[in-house]
Amino acid sequence: MDLNIEKGGKKRVVIIGGGFGGLELAKRLRRSGMQIVLIDKNNYHQFQPLIYQVASAGMEPSSISFPFRRIFQRYRDFYFRLAEVESIDFTAKTVITSIGNIGYDYLVLAAGATTNFFGNERIKAAALPMKTTSEATAIRNLVLTNIERAITSTDSQERQALLNVVIVGGGATGVELAGVISEMKRTILPRDYPDLDSSLMNIYLIQGARRLLPAMDPTSSAAAEQFLRSMGVNVILSKLVKDYQDHRVQMDDGSSIATRTFIWVSGITGVRFGNIGNEMIGRGGRIKVDAYNRVPGAKDVFVIGDQAIMSGDEAYPDGHPQLAQVAIQQGRLLAENLKRMEKGRALQPFHYHNLGAMATVGRNKAVAEFRLFKTQGWFAWFLWLVVHLRSILGIRNKMVVLLNWIWNYVNYNQSLRLIFSTGKSCGKDD
């Protein structure tokens, strides 16, 4: 069995993963004269910076997702295959997938990262991650289901556990999710659930470090923490979550929180395939690459984005931040370098151009950092809206997201609070 793609006389570039890096690379190779094969376990690109809005019932998954076949329908010598990569034969230059094998001239791994539970199997089994739209939908289902269950519960302790939302991880994802659920508590619960005392709902954000948003400036971290506390979020710093037992989140100081809604956004690790040895893996489970995103010892194999950790950059000794802009810039440069290789020209090394960082906390509340200035509050929130709206693929999706934001800003009365499936739940009875 194979992927049913005739190679012909052209060089073939196989790209594993259609995230920001893989997508940018494929687009930039459009007129390269090479055959492009994109393999992904989903048939769509998902705009991860807005996944938290799906989790909070503020946006439908289709609004931040775009089919690969629609993106590339006018591209020549481009092929998409829906499959999962099982292993790679570096000697035979062959990728082994769930639907067959395919040879390559150049292989680019851009499969991104997955949630890191740091080896705690009990937490892995109970907590809900939020790296994909399907995981975000599961969180939305669980939050809404637990509210419904709380209304009918006659046990006060069970009711409180159902209404306690515990989010572990104080990076941008955790901050944004905690903020939007807090707004949901303030604006949605009193209207949709008038027979429930909305003050009983508690949102906890637990961060092991001494401050939120550790990748940003301390002034931005302090502003984000102040925003969240003013919104009623219980911010817990310098504590590590060690376990989850009997529907209680256990922390390293012996304290615990009863909850049936346990969300884990505390860390990520690079995606690994079956036969990638430990000698190829660096910090954070990421594959080691040189300044050209090449994998040492693996001929014509490259890694970009969250899956890669590059050595030799003095500004980022522990690897570049796992952000969309890094993946996009690496994909853009790699496309040029592959063209250079075909022409026998020297490759250009990668240098990350930091365009800034931002995180939104809630309505009119955000923090943003750029090379020349830092800002918090309404202006940062407005900049966040503009930047993310520009980055979404497709005119239709841009319009849907913009209309959603306008409508939600006016009255918070979007009709997306539907429970289609209970999915994975730490709230189910044992």
Provide the H-helix boundaries in 127-217: 133-152, 156-163, 172-187, 189-192
CATH number for the domain formed by residue range(s) 12-41+83-115+269-342:
3.50.50.60
Q: What SS3 state is found at 58? A: coil
User: For residue 12, what are the β-bridge partners?
Assistant: 35
**How far apart are alpha carbons 215 and 234 in whole angstroms?**
21
pLDDT tens readout for residues 7-45? 888 999 999 999 999 999 999 999 899 999 999 999 999
Q: Is the pLDDT score of 401 beyond 80?
A: no
What average pLDDT score do residues 51-70 get? 87
Query: Which residue carries 């956004």 as its tokens?
Result: 265
Where do the structural domains in the chain lie, given as residue ranges?
Answer: 12-41+83-115+269-342, 121-266
Active-site residue list = 176
Query: Which residue carries 């940003």 as its tokens?
Result: 216
CA pseudo-torsion sign 387, 397, 56, 247: negative
pLDDT tens readout for residues 382-400? 998 888 888 887 777 778 7
pLDDT tens readout for residues 151-199? 999 999 999 999 999 999 999 999 999 999 999 899 888 988 999 999 9
Contact indicator for 103, 94 with CB cutoff of 8 Å: yes
Predicted pLDDT of residue 207: 97
Q: Is the pLDDT score of 422 beyond 70?
A: no
Predicted pLDDT of residue 1: 53
Predicted pLDDT of residue 108: 98
Q: What SS3 state is found at 312? A: coil
pLDDT tens readout for residues 365-378? 999 999 889 999 99
Asked if the domains 12-41+83-115+269-342 and 121-266 are classified in one and the same CATH topology, the answer is: yes
Query: 121-266: which CATH number, 3.50.50.100, 3.40.50.720, 3.30.450.90, 3.40.50.10330?
Result: 3.50.50.100
Predicted pLDDT of residue 420: 67
User: For residue 79, what are the β-bridge partners?
Assistant: 37
pLDDT tens readout for residues 294-314? 999 888 999 999 999 998 777
